Structure 1
Amino acid sequence: MRPAAFEYHRATSLEHALELLGEFGEDGRPIAGGQSLVPMMNFRLARPGHLVDINRLPLDTMESDGQVLRIGALTRHIAYFAHPLIARHFPAFLEAVHYIGHPTIRRNGSIGGSISHADPTAELPAVCVLHDAEIVVRSTAGERRIKAADFFLSAYVTALEPGEMVVAVEFPVPPANSRGSFIEQAERSGDFATASIGVTLEFDAGRIARAALVCCGADLVPIRAPEIEDFLRGKPLDAPRAAEAARMFAASTDPVDDHVASAGYRRGLIEELTRRAIEAACNKAVEGR
C-alpha cells in the first residue's frame, strides 16, 4: 500500500524543527530513520499531513557525567554496541538491543523514534522503564522531562503533546555492584517479541540489595513488578528463588489472546523468561562479569 498524501519539510536546526511541529500541531510528525513510522503510514494506520525531517539535527551523541548517560534522540541503534559505558554498566540494555529487528533497522532506527512509536513489544521502551530513565522532550514552549514509567500510556500512545518531540533519553548510571540481563522470545529472529523480561540488580555481601524487573507481553505498555523486586531483595545470589519469583509474577499477569499466542502460553512464557533472566543476572554477579 501507499501512504496518504503528506508534505515534506527538512528542518535545518532544532529550533526550526520545533517551529514547524508547533505550526502543524497534531498533523505534524518528526521523521528520522522512519523504521516505525513509514510502515504505519503505508498501512494508513498513521496519516500525518506533514513530515519534518530531523536527520540533520545534532542529536546523535552519547555523553555521560558519571552520574547520567544522556543519549541523543537521533542515536542509531547500531551505536550502542560500541559504547564502553553501555557495555560496562548496562548489560541488560546491551542484551536488549541485540533483539532489535534486523540490520537495516539497527542501522537506521533511532532511540527517539522507537520510544515515540511506543510499540508495546519494543525493546527500548522496556529498557527505559527498567532503568528509570527520563525522556527529555522539547517544544517552542520549552523543555520538560518525563519519567519513562509515565511516558508510555498505551500501545502506540505516549505523553507527548502536539508540537513536542523527544530530544534525548537520560539513564542513571548504575553502581559498579550491579548486573543485568534481558531475554526475549519471538516467533523468528528479528520479529516482534511474544514476551520479554529485563532484570537489573545491585548486590552486596553475596545477596541482592536491590532489584528491578520489567516485562513486555503482559500489558499494553512495559510493566515493572514491584512485588517481585521486593521479594528478591535480600535473597542470596547463588539461590535467589528465581522459580518462585517467576511463578508469582506470571500468576499476577493478565496477558491477552491474539493471533501470535494464547494468554495461557504467554503467561507460561513470562514465567520461564523471568526465571532465566533472574538467574542470568545473579550468575553474572557471582562470576564478576
Structure 2
Amino acid sequence: MRPASFEYHRARSLEHALELLAEFGDDGRPIAGGQSLVPMMNFRLARPAHLVDIDKLPLAGIEADGPTLRIGALTRHEDYFGHPLIAEHFPAILDAVHYIGHPTIRRNGSTGGSISHADPTAELPAVAVLYDAEIVARSASEERRIPAAEFFLSAYVTALEPGEMVVALEFPLPPQNSAGSFIELGERSGDFATASVGISIEHDGVSVVRAAMVCSGADLVPIRAPEVEALLAGQPLAAPPAAEAGSSFAASIDPANDHIASAEYRRALIAQLTQRAIVAACTRALEKS
C-alpha cells in the first residue's frame, strides 16, 4: 500500500523543528530514519498530515555527564556496538541492540524513533525501563524529563504531548560492581520478539545486592518484575535461584493469546528467558570479580 498524502518539511534547527511541530499539533510527526514510522504509514496505521525531517539535526551521540549517560535521539542503533561506556556500564543494552531488526534497520533506525514508536516488543523501550532511564522531551515552550516507567502508556502510545519530540535518553550510571544481560526469542533472527527479558544486578563479588528485571511480551508495555528482584537480593552469584525466579514470574503474569503464540507458550517462554538471563548476568559478575 501507499501512505496517505502528507506535506514534507525539513527542519533547519531544533528550534525550527519544534516550531513546526507546535504549529501542526496532532497532525505533525518528526521523522529521522523512518524505520518504524514509514511502515506504519504504508499500511495507513499512521496518517500524519505533516512530516518534519529532523535527520540532520545535531541530536546524536553517547556521552557521560557526571553520574548520567546521555544518548541523543538521533543516535543510530549500530552506534552502541563497541562504545566503551555502553560496554562497561550497560551490558543489557549491548545485548539488546544485537536483537534489533536487521543491519539496515540498525544502521538507519534511531534511538528517539524507537522510543517514540513504543512497540511493545521493541528492545530499547525495555532497557529504558530496566535501567530507570528518563526520556527527555522538548516542545517549543518547555523541556521535561519523563521516567521510562511512566512514558510507555500502552502499545504504540506514549506520554508525549502534541508538539513534543524526544531529544535524548538519560540513564543513571550503575555502580562499578554491576552486571546484566538481555535475552530475546522471536520466530526468526531479526523478527519482532515473542518475548524478551533483561536484568541488571549490583553485587559485592559474592552475592547479589540489588536486582532489576524487565520483560516484554507479558503486557502491552515493558514491565518490571518486583517479585523476582526481591527474590534475587542476597542470593549467591554462583548459585542464584534462577529456576525458582522464572517460575515465580511466569505465575504472576497474564500474557495475551495472539497469532504468534498462545498465552501458555509465552508464559513458559518467559520463565525460561528469566532463568537464562539471571544465570548469564551472575556469570558475568563472577567473571569480572
Give TM-score, length-normalised by structure 1: 0.99
Letter in 2 for 1:202: E
Q: Between 94-103 and 196-205, report the one with greater CA deviation.
A: 196-205
Matches within 5 A, 1:141-152: 141-152=141-152
CA distance in structure 2 between the aligned counterparts of 1:32 and 1:241, rounded to whole angstroms: 43
Partner SS for 2:81: helix
Measured in 2, the distance between the counterparts of 1:71 and 1:2 equals 33
* 1:184 aligned residue: 184
Give the corresponding residue for 1:117.
117
Structure 1 partner of 2:5: 5
Matched, 1:104 2:116: no
SS state of the match for residue 22, structure 2? helix
1:106-136 Cα distance to aligned partner (Å, 9 max, x none): 0000000000000000000001000000000
1:246 Cα shift?
0.7
CA distance in 2: counterparts of 1:268 and 1:210, whole angstroms:
25
Cα displacement string for residues 59-106 of structure 1 (whole angstroms, at most 9, x for unaligned residues): 012111241110000000010003100011110000000000000000
Which residue of structure 2 aligns with residue 234 of structure 1? 234
CA distance in 2, matches of 1:250, 1:97: 25
Paired residue secondary structure (1:96): helix
More displaced 10-residue stretch of structure 1: 206-215 or 81-90: 81-90
Task: Please say which of residues 97-106 and 58-67 is displaced more in the overlay.
Answer: 58-67
Whole-Å Cα distance in 2 between the matches of residues 287 and 34 of structure 1?
Answer: 40
Give the match for residue 243 of structure 2: 243
Structure 2 counterpart SS, 1:26: helix
Measure how far apart 1:248 and its partner are.
Answer: 0.3
Q: CA deviation at 1:34?
A: 0.2
**Large movers: runs of 4+ above 6 Å:** none
SS, match of residue 70 in structure 1 = strand
* Worse-matched range after superposition: 80-89 or 108-117: 80-89
Asked if 1:160 is matched to 2:163, the reply is: no
**In structure 2, C-alpha distance between the alignment counterparts of 1:143 and 1:19, rounded to whole Å:** 14
- Structure 2: state its 5+ residue gaps: none
In 2: Cα distance, 1:138 partner to 1:95 partner: 29
| Residue in structure 1 matched with residue 129 of structure 2 by the alignment | 129
Structure 2 counterpart of 1:18: 18
The answer on whether the counterparts of 2:137 and 2:166 sit within 8 Å (CA) in structure 1 is yes
Aligned residues between the structures: 289
**Could you list the per-position Cα deviations for residues 222-264 of structure 1 after superposition, in whole angstroms to 9, with x for gaps in the alignment?**
0001111011100011111110011000000100000000000
Normalising by structure 2, report the TM-score.
Answer: 0.99
Q: Which digits, 9 at most, give the CA deviation of each residue in 1:192-213, with x for residues without a partner?
A: 0000000000001511000000
Give distance in 2, aligned partners of 1:143 and 1:288. Answer: 39
* Residue number in structure 2 paired with 1:31: 31
Gaps of 5+ in 1: none
Alignment of 1:59-70 (within 5 A): 59-70=59-70
Name the counterpart of 1:40.
40
Residue 136 of structure 1 aligns to which amino acid in structure 2?
V
CA–CA distance in structure 1, aligned partners of residues 40 and 65 of structure 2: 37
Aligned-residue sequence identity (percent) comes to 75
Letter in 2 for 1:88: E
Distance 2:215 2:108 in 1: 26
Letter of the 2:270 partner, please give it: I
Answering whether residue 257 of structure 2 is matched by residue 265 of structure 1, we say no
Following the alignment from structure 1 to structure 2, what is the Cα–Cα distance between the partners of residues 204 and 87? Answer: 20
1:214 aligns with 2:214: yes
* Offset from partner CA, 1:22-75 (integer Å, 9 cap, x none): 000000000000000000000000000000000111001211124111000000
* Alpha-carbon distance in 2 for matches of 1:110, 1:69: 17
The residue number in structure 1 matching 2:196 is 196
Matched residues in 2 for 1:284 and 1:78: separation?
A: 23
Query: Which amino acid is the alignment partner of residue 220 of structure 1?
Result: L
Tell me the SS of whatever aligns to 1:82. coil
Question: Does the CA-based 8 Å contact 2:205-2:285 persist in structure 1?
Answer: no
